[in-house]
Each structure stands twice: as structure tokens, then as C-alpha cells.
Structure 1
Amino acid sequence: MATINDNYITVESEEPSHEIDVTEQPIEDGIDIMDHVRAKAKTMSISGFIVGDDAAQIRQNILNLHQAGSIIEYIGRNYFVGIITSFQSTHNHQVANGLSFSATLKEVRVAKSSYLETLPPFVRAQAAPVIHVGRKQPAQKPKPEEESVFVDAAGKYH
């Protein structure tokens, strides 16, 4: 017996997957050089049955979580926190009072904002206060009066 956000399901198979990205650079002789390794998001495929009088309601609850992109908590043989990226159900004569399903779960990492609403006290003491004075018109610089060399020369000979 396993649960997805407190919805009881019977799981036959859990298949966790852990992958990485490796960048490769070709060289002239020998094998390619691998210079960077980065982990991908973990995934897990599950399959099983939803049975009982409330099977339709449990299926609808899981579909609502899937369509909303809600972060779920899966507790089974493995523990997993992530989102449901796919959900398929089969309704046939082989499962009485329920349905069979398969789903894929994917790990989600939530980033935190680095923006701070207020500065810490030691930084605030060093920072100048922000003053809002509106728009200012640029001041006009006075043009210096220019005297011509010819005027000076003409004044000397009169």
C-alpha cells in the first residue's frame, strides 16, 4: 500500500531513475574528453491499481494534482517529492471495483529569491538614504564671451 498526498493506492512497480548530463569534447587522438557533469532531475515511474468504493474519487484527486502541477509526496517502497508529469489509467473487466494506472513522477527544485526587501542593519548604516526630489531640469552653462584677435589688433592701431 502506498500513498500520494494521503490517497491510498496499490503499487506493483516502482522504477526510480537517476541520470546525469556529461559534456564531451572531441580530440584528435584517443577518446573524447568529458569536462562537465551535471545531475538531471530524478524521475520515478510507478504502476499499480486503485481499488475500492472511492477509486473514482482517488483517481480524480490524483488527476487534479497532476493538472494543477502541485508538488506531491509519494510514500511507498521509495519516498519521492515532486510533480506528476504523466498519468494513464486503464478501465477494463480485469479489475473489479477499480482501475489500473501508471504514472511518472519528476523531482522539482524550488529556487529561493535572492532579493531582500530591507537591507541588514550593518549595510543600512553605510548606505546613503534615497531621496526622491522629482525631475530636475539640467542647468544651462553660461557661454564665455569670445574676443576676436582682429578686434584686439584693430583697437591698437586706432
Structure 2
Amino acid sequence: MFYIIAIILIIFDQLTKYLAVKFLLGKNPIPIIKNYLQLNYVENFGAAFGILQNKQLFFVVITIVVLAGIIVYIRKHTNISKPMKAALTILFSGALGNLIDRLRLGYVIDFIDVKFGKLYDFPVFNVADCLVVVSTIIIAYLVLYDKYEINMEE
């Protein structure tokens, strides 16, 4: 099930990036909710929030290590809770989605542009970024509240 869900999420991420290139590249942003949400094509040569620009090899190596770690962890530990397996699958999918961009293009395609009126212009992101952030929050919760393993004593 891990692989099926991962493949579906990766395809969805890559499809949205393909559509971003097709409909947004070289064009003005498309407003969805005026002053709050728009679709805007951006080529990100760094990480989240534009940090570590042009460090592609670093990101490729780190991502491969993380992906391998997730696979080894899931295969080695048979008592992982279903929510933890789901969160690790989502994390794997998001990380691999952006890795595909880095290897194929040398940058990550971002297109979701959120603003908080005139107060704050959030960095542009993509579906894979959403997957990584949401899964990380879930994993942190599961670890903090000791819900990442099935209790075998029950």
C-alpha cells in the first residue's frame, strides 16, 4: 500500500507542476482569491523560503538519504502505527516529488502563491512542499504523544 499511495501522490505533484509550466510559465499570475491566493510560476533553485540557493547537489544527497531512511525504517520496524506509516508515505512522496524536479530540471517548480493581504507575502510553494510540511507535523505529533508504534502488549 505504501508504494501505491506514494505513486499516486507523486503523479499528482508532477501533474500539477506540468500544468503550472503549461498555463503559468511566462504569464501573469492567476488570482484565485484577490490579495490572498494566486497561481504564479516560480523556479526555485534553493530550499523552502528560497534559502540555500544553488546548492542542488546538497539537496539531492540529503533527499536520497532521507528517502532511503524512510524505506529502511518502514521495512525494519513492523510495529509502526498506521498513522505513522501514512505520514512517512506522505513525506516520502513530497521529498521524491521535489527530487524529481531537481534531477530533471536543476530546480523545483513552485506555483502556489499565498499572501496575507499587504501584511505578508508567503514564499511560493508546490504540492510536494505541502506534503512534506503536513507529514512532518503529523510525525512530530505522533512522536511527541508516543503514537508512532503499535503497542504489542494490548
Structure 2 length-normalised TM:
0.24
Higher helix share: 2
- Of the two, which has the highest radius of gyration? 1
Structure 1 length-normalised TM:
0.23
Q: Which has the higher contact order (CA 8 A, sep 6+)?
A: 2
Higher strand share: 1
